[in-house]
Amino acid sequence: MTGYLWAFVGFLGGLALTAFADMVSEEVRDRLNHLPDAILWLAALRLDPAQRETLYKDDWLPELTYILKGDEARPVTRLVHGVGYALGILASTRRIARSLNRAQPSGATHKQQVEQRGRPPALSWRDKWVAWQAQGRQLFEKAFPQADLVDYDGRRVPRIGATHVTERRTGSAE
């Protein structure tokens, strides 16, 4: 009798362990899907607000969305391509911004532009620490969003970049 009981408990334990492993796998997969998006957003933080609009929103983010949702988007392939794309952008953000700044019609050099704008006020270490904390918190929320699944064609899919598309589509369906 005791043997049957242990077998039953073992069976239940096995089921629970399988379900837990599946949940962990799904959780990790979902978090990894957001990794390229978070890296790209970090790159966007290094841009001026005006450039953030033209480069990040109009150029990089749609391209990343295409990479992550394109026809060749197998799970590992899209992660490798997406992270590679975002890391490359992150590494060269300043160079891209500089190249576009140089092409401004004013013809002013970067040093002259800084002088025209005026130097930013010097921050104390305490202010810098607060700013870093805020940026870190934003990055964390970007990488680990609370509501990261959206309705799309009757399915629950991860929210990747083009949220406005799914929202508009849901709105038009209603």
Partner 1 sequence: MAKVLKIFLEDPGQPRYGFELMKLTGMTSGSLYPMLAKLEGAGWLTRGKEDIDPCAVGRPPRMQYSITSAAESAARLEFAAPSGYYRPPVLGRLRLQGGTA
Q: Which residues bind partner 1 (CB under 8 A)?
A: 58-59, 61-63, 65-67, 69, 81, 84-89, 91-92, 95-96, 99-100, 102-103, 152, 161-162, 164-166, 168-169, 172
Nearer to partner 1, 124 or 172 (CB): 172
The distance of closest approach from Cβ of residue 167 to partner 1 in the complex, given in angstroms and rounded to an integer, is 11
- Extract the tokens encoding 19: 């379900």
Nearer to partner 1, 49 or 118 (CB): 49
The distance of closest approach from Cβ of residue 11 to partner 1 in the complex, given in angstroms and rounded to an integer, is 43
Contacts 24+ apart (CB under 8 A), 53-58: 55/96, 55/97, 55/100
Nearer to partner 1, 23 or 165 (CB): 165
> 161: phi > 0 → left, psi -120 to 50 → alpha, else beta; which?
left
The distance of closest approach from Cβ of residue 74 to partner 1 in the complex, given in angstroms and rounded to an integer, is 15
The distance of closest approach from Cβ of residue 127 to partner 1 in the complex, given in angstroms and rounded to an integer, is 31
Q: For residue 160, give the DSSP letter.
A: -
| HEC sequence for 73-140 | CCHHHHHHHHHHHHHHHHHHHHHHHHHHHHCCCCCCCHHHHHHHHCCCCCCCHHHHHHHHHHHHHHHH
Nearer to partner 1, 13 or 62 (CB): 62
